Every structure is written in structure tokens, then in C-alpha cells.
């Protein structure tokens, strides 16, 4: 989808569900998903550190969400490992045990799918005004959060999941209406996307989202 958006310049939105880290987070950078592949690229990071991991902590979107700091998602079901168990087979090769998601994908990696599906029927549940206090990197998580809207900072609230773009559109429309009522300059959000601008730029950043260990996730 990243390649499709990059070449066509026609996609309004791409949502990355814990995009692959191996082979992309520190190489093949020109081939991985990036913030300019659509008008809005939002990413949910859930399995970006602590071997074996399948996603990446590296920001790839305009808006990046880091549930529980983006790695090792909590689980109340202790019979399921958050990471696949590694064992040695008869030929002394490491093998991973299957996960509930099929194949050999960790629960943490598949949790991004859980969050997105659950958000469809639970609008507003994953809204957050918390950001990571820094930008994560390969195997380097950020474990500090800051609150937007304090110490002179502008409050920015984003919503992880299905309604991410709709919630932003509503906030932009409300801001434009207030400016019009106050007689100030009217904002225009119809400016076409360019290489360095989208109408959602004010929402850019790495957002922290706290979730439960099982459904209901929030």
C-alpha cells in the first residue's frame, strides 16, 4: 500500500498495523511505509522491541501510536505468551510455537489488528492527548510521556484506530468555525497534499495509548 500511494499520489489514508521491522527499520528505507504515501498515514506500533519482535518502534507515519510504549503488549491470559516461545527442534534449530493468530506471530504483533477492529465499534475509546517524550528508534523505546496542552504547549488530541481521520476532520472543522465566529482569518483545509504538507500536520507526532491486557481494550 505504501508503494501504491507513493506512486499514485491518490490515496487519502493508509493505516499501518504494526508494520514489519525486520528488513525495513534500518535498511530498505525507501521501500517501507512513510508519512507521505497518503494524505494521512497513521501507524499503530505494538511489537517493536524485545526479541523476537516483528514490528518496529521507528515512526513511519504522520501520526504514530504507541500502545503501552509500542512493545510487549500486556495480557491477562498468562497461558498465552506475549512473545512466541522459542524451543529447539531435533536438529537444534530454534522454532517458535504457534500463536492464536495463526502461524508464528506473537500476540503483541497481532494486537494492532485487535485494537483496530475493536475501535470500529468503540468510537472515542482510544483518544489520547499524551505523547512520548522523544522519538523511538530501533530497539530503543521511549518510556516517558508528556501531556500536550501544558507549559504553553498546544493541546493536541488524536484517536487511534478506525476513526482517526474523522476525529481530526471534526477538530479542524470546529477550529475553523470558531475562527469564523470570532471574525478571525478563516482557515482553509482544502489545500492539496504536497511533499511537505497535509491538512493533518498539526496532529503529527508519537502518541502514547494505555490499554487493558484483554478486551475491552480501553
Mean pLDDT of each 10-residue bin along the chain, 218 residues long = 91 95 84 92 95 92 97 73 68 67 74 96 97 94 92 89 97 90 61 61 96 92
Determine contact, residues 38/5, Cβ cutoff 8 Å.
Answer: yes
Within a domain: residue 214? no
Cβ 31 vs Cβ 24: under 8 Å: yes
DSSP class of 38: S
What pLDDT, on a 0 to 100 scale, did the predictor assign at position 89? 75
With respect to residue 128, please indicate whether it lies within any of the assigned structural domains: yes
Report the pLDDT value the prediction gives residue 99, as an integer from 0 to 100: 62
CA dist list (Å): 61 to 7, 11, 122, 188? 17, 14, 23, 23
Beta carbons of 80 and 157 less than 8 angstroms apart: no
- Say what the pLDDT of residue 151 is: 78
Cα dist. 193→29, 64, 81, 156, 164 in Å? 22, 19, 43, 21, 18
Looking at residue 190, its pLDDT comes to 45
**Is residue 216 assigned to a domain?**
no
C-beta separation of 204 from 60 below 8 A: no
Distance CA 147, CA 160 (A): 16
215 lies in a domain? Answer: no
Written as nine digits, the cell of 1 is 500500500
Which structural domain, as residue segments, surrounds residue 201? 2-209
Residue 192: predicted pLDDT:
46
Cell numbers placing 92: 537444534
- Asked whether residue 188 is assigned to any structural domain, the reply reads yes
What was the pLDDT predicted at 189?
A: 46
Closest to 138 in 3D by CA, of 30, 6, 36, 20:
20
Nearest to residue 160, comparing CAs of 196, 122, 132? 122
Is there a domain that residue 30 lies in? Answer: yes
> What is the model's pLDDT at position 119?
98
- How many structural domains compose the chain? 1
Amino acid at each position: 500500500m505504501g508503494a501504491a500511494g507513493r506512486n499514485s499520489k491518490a490515496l487519502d489514508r493508509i493505516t499501518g498495523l504494526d508494520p514489519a521491522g525486520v528488513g525495513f527499520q534500518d535498511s530498505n528505507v525507501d521501500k517501507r511505509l512513510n508519512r507521505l504515501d497518503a494524505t494521512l498515514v497513521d501507524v499503530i506500533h505494538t511489537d517493536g522491541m524485545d526479541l523476537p519482535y516483528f514490528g518496529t518502534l521507528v515512526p513511519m507515519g504522520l501520526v504514530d501510536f504507541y500502545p503501552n510504549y509500542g512493545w510487549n503488549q500486556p495480557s491477562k491470559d498468562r497461558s498465552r505468551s506475549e512473545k512466541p516461545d522459542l524451543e529447539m527442534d531435533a536438529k537444534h534449530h530454534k522454532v517458535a510455537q504457534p500463536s492464536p493468530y495463526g502461524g508464528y506471530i506473537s500476540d503483541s504483533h497481532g494486537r494492532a489488528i485487535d485494537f483496530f477492529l475493536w475501535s470500529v465499534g468503540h468510537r472515542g475509546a482510544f483518544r489520547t492527548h499524551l505523547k512520548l517524550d522523544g522519538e523511538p528508534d530501533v530497539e530503543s523505546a521511549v518510556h516517558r510521556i508528556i501531556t500536550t496542552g501544558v507549559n504553553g504547549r498546544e493541546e493536541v488530541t488524536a484517536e487511534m484506530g478506525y476513526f482517526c481521520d474523522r476525529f481530526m476532520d471534526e477538530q479542524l472543522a470546529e477550529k475553523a468555525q470558531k475562527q469564523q465566529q470570532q471574525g478571525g482569518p478563516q482557515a482553509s483545509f482544502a489545500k492539496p497534499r504536497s511533499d511537505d504538507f497535509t491538512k493533518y500536520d498539526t496532529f503529527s507526532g508519537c502518541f502514547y495509548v494505555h490499554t487493558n491486557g484483554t478486551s475491552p481494550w480501553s
